[in-house]
């Protein structure tokens, strides 16, 4: 196992092997699916055999991506390939049990990711946390090695990086990120078209979910805590899918004066999922969540705890209030 492999070392494996399985994490987002498509189509253009496998398959909101029909859920029979490539996946278990089972017979693993916490579980590992998205690492790999960059790969890299940077807004966005977007545009990317499909293309039920959440919105702690909730009742009435709520917490995180935003959601098993965002390093979301068996980062953390939702809401809110700085 190598702690850090160069693009050249990875390139040699890509050159020599004939068949590949490209994987990404459960509940995949734009960077996960985008990375699979980007590298997958580059390898196919090199004449390789490629399978794109994800535990949860392709989410509806990414079905607009060219090449996304190639994303498959793990087959029951073993997938025999020369090399497995894990993309954008911080730990091996995050690939999912059935995915791990189907590629269990493969001996050579490449691990490419931008999560700092990635423990380098591959045989070759390229972990670059200076990159705001795995898609940007793959762009560097493809262009530096001179691999083919077909239209599917070009567009997938853009979607991967755009979605993981909140449309080039988050602090991880660098000059190189914008340079990359410039280059992809020069290579024929339809900027207006792809962004319309990525961001302006929600199912009606997502807008209904937004309305429902806003109608439960409450603010407390002198306007420094905003929270809303999603009950099973609403999930079933609106026939919601997991990806429908993605990013909605940003609406209340963005309120002036709010330090902590919380999203309480009833799960099918009766447990409550809590998503917590802090805008102020003095309130450590991870520390609060750990009190309830959860975890995460200082500014974004979560809990899965016992219900009912009203009790969970009260307990967690009290814990957040106790952490608020003197105003």
> Cα 111 to the chain's mean position, in Å?
16
- Region near a copy of itself per CB under 8 A, out of 72-80, 119-127, 239-247, 253-261: 253-261
Q: Are 110 and 123 in contact (CB under 8 A)?
A: yes
Tell me whether residue 65 is exposed, middle or buried, using C-beta atoms within 10 angstroms of its C-beta: 0 to 12, 13 to 18, 19 or more: buried
Question: At closest approach, how far in Å is the CB of 224 from a copy of itself?
Answer: 12
- Region near a copy of itself per CB under 8 A, out of 12-20, 28-36, 202-210, 231-239: 202-210
Distance, CA of 267 to CA of 175 (rounded, Å) = 41
Quick one: tokens of 139?
Answer: 């762009």
Which positions from 213 through 242 interact with a copy of itself, judged by CB under 8 A? 214-215, 217, 219, 223
Decide if residue 327 touches a copy of itself (CB under 8 A). Answer: no
Decide if residue 322 touches a copy of itself (CB under 8 A). Answer: no
- The contact pattern for a copy of itself, residues 97-136, with x = CB under 8 A and - = no contact, is ----------------------------------------
Distance, CA of 62 to CA of 160 (rounded, Å) = 10
Residue whose CB is less far from a copy of itself, 72 or 199: 199
- The contact pattern for a copy of itself, residues 261-300, with x = CB under 8 A and - = no contact, is ------------------x---------------------
Q: Are 266 and 309 in contact (CB under 8 A)?
A: yes
Question: At closest approach, how far in Å is the CB of 56 from a copy of itself?
Answer: 21
Residue selected from 26, 101, 151, 255 as contacting a copy of itself according to rule CB under 8 A: 255
Which positions from 143 through 182 interact with a copy of itself, judged by CB under 8 A? 166-179, 181-182
- Within 10 Å of residue 198's Cβ, how many Cβ atoms? 19
Residue whose CB is less far from a copy of itself, 77 or 171: 171
Q: Which residues pair with 50 in a beta bridge?
A: 20
Query: Buried b / exposed e across 154-193, counting CB within 10 Å, b at 16+?
Result: bbbbbbbbbbbbeeeeeebbeeebeebbeebeeeebeeee
Name the nearest CA neighbour of 199 among 250, 153, 238, 130: 250
Residue whose CB is less far from a copy of itself, 193 or 295: 193
Residue selected from 1, 63, 80, 191 as contacting a copy of itself according to rule CB under 8 A: 191
Q: Any residues with CB less than 8 A from the CB of 26 and at least 6 apart, and which?
A: 54, 55, 56, 94, 95, 96
- The residue whose two tokens read 């459960």 is 26
* Contact positions vs a copy of itself (CB under 8 A): 166-179, 181-183, 185-186, 190-193, 195-196, 199-204, 207, 210-211, 214-215, 217, 219, 223, 250-257, 279
């Amino acid at each position: 196992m190598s702690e850090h492999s160069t693009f050249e070392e990875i390139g040699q494996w890509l050159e020599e092997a004939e068949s590949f399985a490209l994987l990404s994490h459960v509940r995949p987002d734009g960077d996960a699916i985008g990375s699979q498509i980007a590298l997958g189509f580059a390898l196919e253009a090199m004449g390789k055999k490629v399978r794109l496998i994800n535990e949860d398959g392709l989410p509806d909101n990414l079905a607009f991506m060219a090449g996304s029909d190639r994303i498959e859920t793990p087959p029951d029979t073993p997938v025999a390939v020369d090399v497995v490539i894990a993309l954008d996946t911080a730990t091996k278990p995050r690939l999912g049990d059935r995915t791990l089972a189907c590629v269990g017979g493969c001996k050579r693993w490449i691990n490419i990711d931008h999560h700092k916490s990635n423990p380098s579980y591959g045989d070759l590992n390229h972990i670059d946390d200076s990159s705001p998205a795995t898609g940007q690492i793959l762009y560097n790999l493809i262009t530096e090695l001179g691999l083919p960059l077909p239209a599917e790969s070009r567009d997938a890299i853009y979607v991967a990086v755009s979605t993981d940077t909140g449309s080039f807004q988050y602090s991880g966005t660098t000059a190189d990120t914008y340079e990359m977007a410039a280059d992809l545009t020069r290579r024929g990317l339809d900027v207006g078209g792809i962004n319309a499909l990525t961001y302006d293309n929600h199912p009606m039920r997502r807008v209904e979910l937004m309305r429902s959440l806003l109608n439960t919105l409450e603010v407390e702690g002198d306007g420094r805590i905003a929270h809303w909730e999603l009950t099973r009742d609403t999930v079933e009435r609106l026939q919601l899918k997991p990806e429908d709520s993605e990013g909605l917490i940003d609406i209340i995180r963005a309120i002036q004066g709010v330090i902590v935003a919380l999203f309480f959601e009833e799960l099918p098993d009766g447990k409550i999922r809590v998503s917590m965002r802090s805008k102020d390093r003095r309130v450590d979301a991870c520390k609060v969540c750990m009190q309830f068996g959860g975890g995460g980062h200082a500014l974004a953390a979560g809990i899965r705890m016992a219900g009912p939702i009203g009790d969970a809401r009260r307990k967690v809110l009290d814990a957040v209030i106790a952490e608020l700085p003197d105003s």
